[in-house]
Amino acid sequence: RVAAIGNDRDRDWQTFMAAFENDSRFSARLATQRKVTRPDRADNIVVAPVSGLAEQRALYEWADVIVVPLHPNHHASGITVLLEAVMAGKAVVATGIGGLSDYFSDDAVSYVPVHDAQRLRETVAALGADPEGTTARIRRAQQELVSKDLTTRGFARQHVMLTQQMLRQAQSNEREESLARA
C-alpha cells in the first residue's frame, strides 16, 4: 500500500501514477486538493483529497510506504510530509532533488531520480521485499528526526533562539549608533 499526499505545485503526480498504474502488486492512494486526473487504466490508484487530521492520519495508517514525488525545485518541497511519515513510522521514498537529504540521510529515506517511474516502482517493491531492512531504515529515520530535533518543539526552540539573537543584535546596533552620535 503506497500513499502520496500534498498540495504544493512541485509534486510530480504523473510520475507517481506511472510508477504504480496497472501493477497489481500495489494499491496506491494520491491525496491532494489539486486537480489531478487518474489514468483510465489505473484501477489500483485512488485519487481523492483528505480533509482534516483524522483523514490524514487514516491515510498514513493505511499506507506501508509514503512517497514524496517531486519536480526539481530549489526549496525543501515535501519536508512536511516526510517529517509526518517518519513520525508515523512509515518507510519513505522521495525524489532526490536535494534539500530533503539535508534532513534525512540515504540510509533513512530512499531517494530516487527525478521523473523516474521505474526506479520509484522498483524502490517501493524492494522495501516490501525486505521487511527487516525496511524496519531498520524506518528506525534510522526516526533516530535522525530525534537527534536533529526535527520536531515541532525543536522548530519552536530554534525560532526562539533566532529571535533572541536578532534582538540582541538589534540592541547592540542601537548602542553602537548611540555612541557614534555622542
Divide the 182 residues of the chain into consecutive groups of 10 and give the mean pLDDT of each group.
94 95 94 84 88 93 97 88 95 93 94 97 97 97 89 74 86 81 74
Q: Could you tell me the pTM of the whole model?
A: 0.83
Nearest to 25 by CA among 116, 106, 128, 110: 128
Residue 157, pLDDT score: 77
DSSP assignment of 31-67: E-SS--PPPTT-TTEEE----HHHHHHHHHHH-SEEE
Residue 26, pLDDT score: 96
Going by the DSSP 8-state scheme, the letter that residue 70 receives in this structure is B
Kindly state the cell numbers that stand for 171.
540592541
Sequence-distant (6+) residues with CB within 8 A of 89 are 138, 142
Report H helices in 21-104: 52-62, 79-87
Going by the DSSP 8-state scheme, the letter that residue 11 receives in this structure is B
Residue 37, pLDDT score: 79
Say if residues 65 and 128 touch (Cβ distance below 8 Å). yes
Side chain identity, residue 163: T
How buried is residue 108: exposed, middle or buried, by Cβ count under 10 Å (0-12/13-18/19+)? buried
Nearest to 81 by CA among 171, 173, 29, 8: 8
